[in-house]
Amino acid sequence: MELRQLLYAVTITEEKSFSKAAEKLHLAQPSLSQQIAKLEKEIGVVLFERSSSPIRLTYAGERFFEKAVRILDQMDHLKKEMEDVADLTRGDLTIGCLPITGAHILPLVLPVYKEKYPGIQIKLVEEKTAELEQMTARGAAELSLLWLPVQDPNLEWIEMVREEICLAVPPGHPLSGAGEVEVGALKEEPFIMLKQGQGFRHLALNWCMEAGFAPRIVFESSNIETVQALVAAGMGVAFIPKMITRPAAQEFIPNYLSLVSPRPFRTLVLAYKRGRYLSRAAHAFQQTVKEVLLTGEKVSGWI
């Protein structure tokens, strides 16, 4: 049994497809199939139910997958520790991030990090919150930029910064010239929110409940940019993170107001697997994120 065969089996399990796994591993599919067949013959069990679509693990395959993930994670730990000996002159770092969060934060952070540590190769993984938490808990991503609350009990996190939340209202709305508004004053307003299952929606509902009302939701979207466009079109109001408010040069621009009593915010964290050894490259990334977001001239809305 070889380590690469463990990696092959884990990748097939994650991708639920031999062809997708082969593409991700940069292998020919027949070669990948041969390696798995060789592994199954060596250990005397069948790992995958190949007749199903998508491919599923057998009972033996489930046990194998659990152990293989642990072994690969330990090998990664060893690699990270040895890379640290090189004093950040070489190594790699896998960062998980939500697509919209990454689009606004990583262009500010990564150039600074790469200038300081040019020998560190960074791999980015963009997924939804649930998938990122699972990947980080498995060790597939050493760090992930997430927003509290983090649901997976296998994760720990380091708080980075808090971001101000503002209220988006249509141009010409009676509140548009107020400058700031209390959350409790919004109980009669029609709200546009993200769909269920997204972390920011959970926060938005909590802010309303803490102010004493349940929001009247008239539209839902899976995209925060669509939410802003619908507000600008006069369909309702919405909570919007300060980071992604639209500049005046764009089309469909709502008016933005400050929120008070209470002043809502969300907390950005760097999450990692509980008990995992964090490499010096990871600690350096953590420090860079905090420095850039708290001192960068291009960033506003951080508390």
Can you give the pLDDT at residue 51? 84
Lookup: tokens for 26? 């940069």
Return the beta strands (E) in the chain as ranges.
48-49, 56-57, 91-97, 120-126, 143-147, 155-169, 180-182, 190-194, 216-221, 238-241, 255-260, 265-273
Q: What is the CATH number of domain 79-161+267-295?
A: 3.40.190.10
For the chain, the distance separating the N- and C-terminal CA atoms, rounded to the nearest angstrom, is 52
pLDDT of residue 255: 93
Please determine, looking at this structure, whether the domain spanning 162-266 carries the CATH number 3.40.190.10: yes
The whole-number average pLDDT for the span 71-91 is 80
pLDDT value at residue 296? 58
Q: Do domains 3-76 and 79-161+267-295 have the same CATH topology?
A: no
Nearest to 131 by CA among 141, 119, 142: 141
Express each pLDDT in 186-218 by its tens digit. Answer: 999 999 999 987 889 999 999 999 999 999 999
3-76 topology per CATH: Arc Repressor Mutant, subunit A (1.10.10)
Domain ranges of the chain: 3-76, 79-161+267-295, 162-266
Q: pLDDT band for position 50 (50/70/90)?
A: confident
- Please determine, for residue 35, whether its predicted confidence score (pLDDT) is greater than 80: yes
Tell me the per-residue pLDDT of 156-197, one tens digit each, with 9 for 90 and over: 999 999 999 999 999 999 998 888 999 999 999 999 999 987
**Does the structure show a pLDDT above 60 at 297?**
no
**pLDDT given for residue 247 in this prediction:** 76
Mean pLDDT of the chain: 90
- Pairing of β 216-221 and β 180-182: unpaired
Q: How confident is residue 249, by pLDDT bands cut at 50, 70 and 90?
A: low
**280 — phi, psi (to 5°)?**
-65, -30
